Amino acid sequence: MTTGMRTVRAQRPPARRKAFGAASVALRPVLEAARQPARVLAAFPQVVYLEVRTDLEPSVVAVVTGAATRLPNAVVVDALPATGAGEDAAVGDGAVELGRVTVGVRRWWDPAPPLGPVQAPALAAMLPAYDAACRGTGRGTGIDPAGAGALLAAGCARGSLLDAITAAERLMGLGPGLTPSGDDMLAGLLVALRHLGAATGAGRAVWVADWLAATVAFDAATRTTMISAALLRCAARGEACAEVLAVLRGLAGRGPLEPAVRRLLCVGHTSGADLAWGLRAGAAAVLALGRPAPGPPPGPPAGLKRLERPGAGVPTSR
């Protein structure tokens, strides 16, 4: 008889807990596809960013609580499970697996709702109040907009693809953090061109947005962070966070403008102010490009042959 030995029983791993959330419709291709492995890119108290190993877009999914900014690529949950950067996760089959929790998607929300028709004079009349609301908070952009930012704003207002795309390439990745200031400025401008351009019937503004979207599709992955590149591609399709959408509704006269601007400016350290700068530049470009122009929009300038057909694979706002 053998003594001094004891049987060690294998312990079962803790059971997975089920939870439910609401997801952006931008995530439908990824969430409704077959389950794919993912990893945690970054984890914070109110948001976890996941990189999904897929060719579908968006390849970065933000899992956020209701207290966080509702990003256009987000799944909103009641509470985040404990997790850390580098840990394994999974996305697909209608759910997100994070830590020991499986979050099923029960509801969907639209990150790019159409504004409906807006008269250009009515939009122009809202801009002084917008400017006053921005000045009243004292918050500024993370980088000086006088350089590439000014070139981007002027190029878009003139319909100059060469200047606009050159400036966009300079802005991408410019500034510190997970979402550099240059990216946020460009994102705000893209969303404004798409939504306000469509609402006012300024087809040339949407045309410029199509070309900038093609630039983002080509260059974002190599010029900025993975998280910011995903958000730029969302903006290229007209998808935005809830705070930006509220400001757009205010500019369109469909909601209170001043409180919406104040909420936007409180987003992040400088992200809100950077997005607000882009929205203002985009609104000005929409008004400038909405004026009658002689003849149809010109073809691509020299040096842009590497770009795809404008808007290829990038749908305009819904």
**Tokens 């500034």 correspond to what residue?**
175
- Can you count the helices (H) and strands (E) in the chain? 10, 8
In 14-114, DSSP assigns E strands to 17-24, 36-43, 47-52, 60-65, 74-77, 88-92, 95-98, 101-109
Q: Are 72 and 24 in contact (CB under 8 A)?
A: yes
Mean pLDDT of each 10-residue bin along the chain, 318 residues long: 52 76 96 96 96 88 96 96 94 95 96 96 97 90 93 96 96 91 97 98 96 92 94 96 98 97 94 96 96 53 34 37
- What single letter denotes the amino acid at residue 100? R
pLDDT for res 58: 78
The 3-class secondary structure across 40-58, one letter per residue, is EEEECCCEEEEEECCCCCC
Quote the pTM value. 0.86
pLDDT for res 88: 96
* Residue partners of 228: CB distance under 8 A and separation at least 6: 173, 178, 179, 180, 183, 220
Tokens of 128: 């002084």
Q: What is the DSSP letter of 7?
A: P
pLDDT for res 314: 38
| Per-domain residue ranges of the chain | 17-109, 120-289
Q: How far apart are CA 179 and CA 187, in angstroms?
A: 10
